[in-house]
Structures are given as C-alpha cells and as structure tokens.
Amino acid sequence: MAKLILDRVSKDFGTGRSAVDGLSLEVRDGGFLALLGPSGCGKTTVLRMIAGFEQPTGGSIRLGEKLLTNSESYLPPERRNMAMVFQSYALWPHMNVADNVGYPLKVRGISGERYREKVREALGTVRLGDFADRRPADLSGGQRQRVALARCLVTSPDVVLLDEPLANLDRHLKTEMEETFREFHQRSGATMVYVTHDQSEAMALATDVAVMSEGRLMQVAAPAEIYARPEGRLVGGLVGRGSILSVPISSDVGPRLLDWAALREVLKRPGDDRGRPGDDRDRPGNDGSPRADILVRPEDVIADAGGVSCVVESSLYEGERYAVRLRLPDGQSLRAYSRFAVVPGERLTVVIRSAWRL
C-alpha cells in the first residue's frame, strides 16, 4: 500500500475554463479523504482522473512510485487496482447478491473455494452474509449500497473511490449508511476518496477534508481543523453554519482567534459603513480603519446581559433547539442557537465568545 499523490493536476475540456486547475494533493495510505465542494467545482473530474476514466491535460497522478497517469502516459482503469462505488449502485438485476459481489473476481479468473471464501469475507464485512441469495430488487437502498461496498472490497483494492454514494438516500438511511462507511473503512483499512457536496457527510466520515472551488483546491485539513480554522471566506461559508461578519480590525496582523474582549467595542457601536461580507476587505470604513472578515459559529453566540443588543429577525425550531438569526446594531446578520422560543422583533443581548479572522 502507498500514498496516492496528485501533483499539479489539471483538466481542460476545451471550454475555455479548466475543470481542474493545478491541483496538488496527497492521500495517505489508509486515509479517508472527502473532496467537498459545490456542484461544478471539479471534484468528480478529479475522481474520474484517479480512476482512469479521464486523462489529465497537465500534472501527474501516482500511487506510491507507480505512475498512473499524466498528460503523456496512461494506465487503464483495469490495471490500477481501484474500485468505485457509484451513486446509482450499478448492480446487475439478474444476479443475486453473491454473484454481484463476486463478479470482479470472475473477470480476474478467480474461481472455486478461493472465490467463495472472498465473497463470504466481503459480505461479512458489510454484514450481509445472510442475504447472499437475494436479488437487488429484494433489498432496500441501504442494503444495495452495502452490496456495492462488498463488491469493492472483494478484490482487495489499493484505493476505493466513492462518487456521492449517499445522494439518493433519505435522511434516516443516510445516517445509518454513514455508520456503515465508517465501519467499512475501519475494518477494511482501504484508502478511500469520497466525493460529496454535503459538508455534514464530509465532516462525519473523513479523516481529511479537501475543499474545492472552481477547479482549485482551497484547503485540506482534518475535519475539526477545517471547521475551527478555515482559510478564506469560501471555506468558512461552506463548512458549518457560521456567520461571516465585516469588522473594523486589521485584516493581516494580530491574533486570528478573537475573544469577546477583542470584539466588544467594534460590535457594540452602530455601523458607519462597515459594509457586508464580500466587500473589498482592504477598503477602510468612513473612520479610516481597516476591516476584516471574521467567522462566528452559532454555538459561540451566548446570551449575556453584558453583551450587544440584537434584534431577532427569524427563529426556526429544529427539535432540540431554535436556530435564530439576529441583526446586529450595524445591520449585519448573526446566527445563534437558543434553547427557548424567541419571536421576530424581540431583542436579545449576546456575547461572541470566540471568532476566527479569515
């Protein structure tokens, strides 16, 4: 087993804009990397280049010392020892579960007791040993996805590639399958690359998250790191449910982790043209002070009589709590959580115990 290395990989389909632009990334042996980003950001193109379904127009992809592809050399998919799980499951309807799982072995000429043993092991890993004789039509969506996972595992691949495999499942089944994927990764020890536009999936499953936008890699880090210390507005806005505020503090010096002592005065005084997130960050306010974007997570907004007075703009009951949108004195919007019901127009006094300067 070895690291999967993407070195300045690009892909241009001749449209005038690169689908993937100079992406460099390492996936450690046995790691679980989530490629996260909005639709059209290039994440599926990256997956297809790793699999061998597309050839890069620039850069290279290696598995350890083995060159998989570059703009001049190309190793076909069947020689890469990789397996792929699709959104649609891609199961043969006329075959039973055992035959679907064992099909890659038949293609490789494996038969007899070795064939049956590997199929049993793969089905046991996804806990479908009792379903070997059933047809896909007799299974639930989650069970079909487990069959697809077992089919991946049966050939002992170096890398498992997953293209939004939970997109077609309802919320309850998606949560159940997230646990299945975690177990699958732990029990198989496979290196996994998982494409998704759902940040909650990426955070729940992966050991590392790579955020993409418009064909470029914006940041790669462990889920906790990328949640607490995102680099830039795009990553900060995509991961989690935070608020991005524009405040009159330096954008490039001083600490990046800010507490209430650092934020109290700049949030309490009414705005005199602080702008909104997305304005030019280097443009000073009317008082000549520089401004910066800060990310505030809703769990860090706490009710406190010594804080800043805000107006409730909206309140949505989520079961265990209310998701509240507040309006600060300068007109900017702030997300918060509340254990108690609040109504629009009501005033709440809050402090921000922690914020991250982007």
Q: Which pLDDT score, from 0 to 100, does residue 331 have?
A: 93
Element holding 69 (H helix, E strand): strand 66-70
Q: Which residue has the tokens 């397996």?
A: 83
Provide the CATH topology of domain 241-357.
OB fold (Dihydrolipoamide Acetyltransferase, E2P) (2.40.50)
Stated length of the chain: 358
Phi-psi domain of 197 (left: phi exceeds 0; alpha: psi -120 through 50; beta: other): alpha
Q: What are phi and psi of 7, to 5 degrees?
A: -120, 105
- Over its C-alpha atoms, the chain yields an Rg (Å, rounded) of 24
End-to-end CA distance of the chain: 37
What are the boundaries of each domain within the chain?
Answer: 4-230, 241-357
Contact 107, 155 (CB under 8 A): no
Phi-psi domain of 138 (left: phi exceeds 0; alpha: psi -120 through 50; beta: other): alpha
What is the mean pLDDT, run by run of 10 residues, along the chain of 358 residues?
90 90 94 93 96 95 94 90 83 94 92 93 88 93 86 88 82 78 81 91 92 95 94 89 90 85 78 43 54 94 94 94 95 95 95 94
Q: Which pLDDT score, from 0 to 100, does residue 296 have?
A: 97
Q: What are phi and psi of 23, to 5 degrees?
A: -85, 125
Tally Cβ neighbours within 10 Å of residue 169.
18
224-228 long-range CB contacts below 8 Å, 24 or more apart? 227/203, 228/356
Q: Which pLDDT score, from 0 to 100, does residue 89 have?
A: 77
Q: Which pLDDT score, from 0 to 100, does residue 287 have?
A: 56
The answer to whether the 4-230 and 241-357 domains have the same CATH topology is: no
Q: What are the Cα distances from residue 334, in Å, to 4, 5, 280, 337? A: 41, 40, 20, 10
Q: Which pLDDT score, from 0 to 100, does residue 337 have?
A: 96
Provide the CATH topology of domain 4-230.
Rossmann fold (3.40.50)
Contact 52, 23 (CB under 8 A): no
pTM of the model: 0.82
Residue type for 204, please? A
| Residues paired with 234 in a beta bridge | none
Q: Which pLDDT score, from 0 to 100, does residue 220 have?
A: 96
